[in-house]
Copies of this chain bind each other. A is one copy, B any other.
Amino acid sequence: MVTQSEVAKRAGVSFITVSRVINNKGNVKEETRERVLEAIKELKYYPNSLGRGLNSNKVNTVGIVIATLMGVNIHGNQFYNELMSGIEGICIRNSHDMLISTQKKYPGVEYDYLKLYYERKIDGIIMVSPNIPESQLRQIEEERIPCVIIDDHSDEHRISYVDADNREAVNLAGDYLFQKGHRKMGFLKGVENNRNAQDRLAGFYDVIAKHNLDLKEDWILEGDFTVEGGRDALRKLVAQNNLPTVLLCANDQMALGVMAEAKNAGLKIPEDLSVMGFDGIEAHRYTTPILTTMRQPLVEMGVAAAEMLFEQINNTDYVQEIRIFPVELISGESVKDVAG
């Protein structure tokens, strides 16, 4: 294993000169620099990031904690993929690698979102769809740990986050459905303890109130953000023998399940039931009919989160930053126009 000292010996200088060349710090004569660089090349020297990190407190690594990767898949993989690709681009630009936490998640046991930070001395963390215990939120705030949360947030802590305007988005969706003539709207909820699932449900209640629609409890279905959950919900809905004209789903995965099961149940979409999704994952484009959905700008959200994180990493003064992204309606073929 090649160390700095060996490079130094080869180049006929002291090891600190090698360090200077590598980090471009301090003055080094051009001729010496070249000699060192050549030695580095010849010996195939790579600086050891452990030794380096140990006293510079800089490891050029961003930690990422994703709920999916903890065995809980809230949105379907596509969702995280697009976020990741946004995050990755900014990490590349900043020469940071990405470290993914792989703690086991036990039901009922508090997940340690900060372990990665304390143990690995990473420069900052991005948390996607987390469910952070109060005590850890406080720690992040108090210790000014560089951190950006995506797809969840707390109003009680000065922690930066990136999110979509979920409530407003459901309002837009509802307005669209209303405009298409729908008056009997059903809603397929996401998991209860998720902040955004709550916001989406709240948005639905807004729609009901705003347009003075009937709020039928039977049409508000429990879901869990999975395809299977969507299938279950549709079966339940059909069994009740009283369909709404449209079912608005809290995410696309469930909408896919609803559509697949509708086929089995002999329901035609959108003729017998209109379906609308939420998220805008890739698969929505390949369904027949094409799923109408609300698209979150996920790549952009990932980019924003990473940029915000690097700002925190590079600037000493901690400022909370919040970026709420608008959600866009992607018109497909799964919503019938019953207005005309």
For the complex, give the distance between the alpha carbons of A337 and B301 in Å.
Answer: 46
Q: Which residue in chain B gives the minimum CB-CB distance to A89? A: B71
Most buried by B among A91, A116, A120, A287: A120
Pairwise interchain contact A286-B256, C-beta atoms closer than 8 A = yes
Give the chain B neighbours of A116 by CB distance below 8 A.
Answer: 97
Q: Given contacts A78-B78, A92-B102, A98-B99, is CB(A48)–CB(B119) below 8 Å? A: yes
Tell me, yes or no, whether A53 is within 8 Å of chain B by CB: yes
> Given the complex, which residues of B lie within 8 Å of A101, measured CB to CB?
97
Counting chain A residues whose Cβ lies within 8 A of the other chain, the interface size class is 35 or more
**Copies of this chain held together in the complex:** 2
| Separation of A19 and B98 alpha carbons in the complex (Å) | 28
How far is B98's CA from A103's CA once the two chains are assembled, in angstroms? 11
What 0/1 readout, one digit per residue, does chain A (135-178) give for beta carbons within 8 Å of chain B?
Answer: 00000000000000000000000000000000000000000000
Contact of A121 among B50, B84, B85 (CB under 8 A): B50
A102 touches B88 (CB 8 A): yes
- A44-83: which have CB < 8 Å to B? 44, 46-51, 53-54, 59, 61, 69, 77-78, 80-81
Residues of chain A in range 15-62 having any CB-CB distance to chain B below 8 Å: 44, 46-51, 53-54, 59, 61
Which 6 pairs show the lowest CB-CB distances between chains A and B? A288-B288, A46-B118, A77-B81, A98-B100, A283-B283, A91-B102
16 new A-B pairs (CB below 8 Å) besides A50-B59, A61-B99?
A: A48-B54, A49-B120, A49-B121, A50-B50, A54-B54, A69-B84, A77-B78, A77-B81, A80-B81, A92-B103, A97-B100, A97-B102, A99-B99, A256-B286, A283-B286, A286-B286
